[in-house]
């Protein structure tokens, strides 16, 4: 089902959709047929995530924000996005000639914030 709306930079191309489609659950059989294509739902999700806006600010040429958010939430709870992430990470590591599953991780101690600083810090007490 091709869309008649304008395209956005976050939209999937045909090759990307062909890959991702295998992870997205098909519409359930029986009941009311889907009003929106799965590809349009995914494109709307990617728009919100890429643009950094709120769900309610989704442009009107996408499916309604509540429907898009509903799919996003259900797919998060079902672990769909985690499976997509894990599979893409494995494929990328293989293209680099590395083991598909990372065996170790590193945390940059300069980037990790801690709340274990004790006492007052000079110049930070605004209650005086």
DSSP string, 50-87: HHT--GGG--TTSSPHHHHHHHHHHHHHTTHHHHHHHH
57-114 pLDDT, tens digit each = 999 999 999 999 999 999 999 999 999 999 998 888 888 888 888 777 777 767 656 6
pLDDT bin (cut points 50, 70, 90) of residue 33 is confident
**37 domain residue, yes or no:** yes
**108 domain residue, yes or no:** no
**121 domain residue, yes or no:** no
Please tell me the pTM assigned to this model: 0.73
Give the chain's mean pLDDT: 85
DSSP state of 126: T
**8 domain residue, yes or no:** no
**What total of structural domains would you count in the chain?**
1
Contact 67, 10 (CB under 8 A): no
**61 domain residue, yes or no:** yes
Q: What distance in Å separates the CA atoms of residue 67 and residue 45, rounded to the nearest whole number?
A: 10
The domain of 43 spans 14-24+33-95
**124 domain residue, yes or no:** no
Residues 6 or more apart in contact with residue 44 via CB below 8 angstroms: 58, 62, 63, 65, 68
């Amino acid at each position: 089902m091709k869309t008649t709306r304008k395209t956005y930079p976050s939209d999937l191309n045909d090759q990307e959709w062909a890959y991702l489609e295998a992870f997205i659950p098909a519409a359930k059989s029986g009941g009311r047929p889907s009003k929106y294509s799965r590809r349009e739902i995914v494109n709307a999700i990617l728009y919100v995530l890429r643009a950094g806006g709120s769900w309610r600010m989704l442009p009107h040429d996408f499916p309604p924000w509540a429907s898009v958010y509903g799919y996003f939430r259900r797919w998060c709870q079902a672990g769909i996005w985690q499976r997509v992430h894990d599979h893409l990470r494995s494929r990328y590591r293989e293209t680099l000639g590395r083991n598909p599953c990372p065996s170790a991780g590193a945390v940059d101690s300069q980037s990790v914030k801690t709340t274990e600083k004790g006492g007052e810090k000079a110049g930070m007490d605004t209650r005086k």
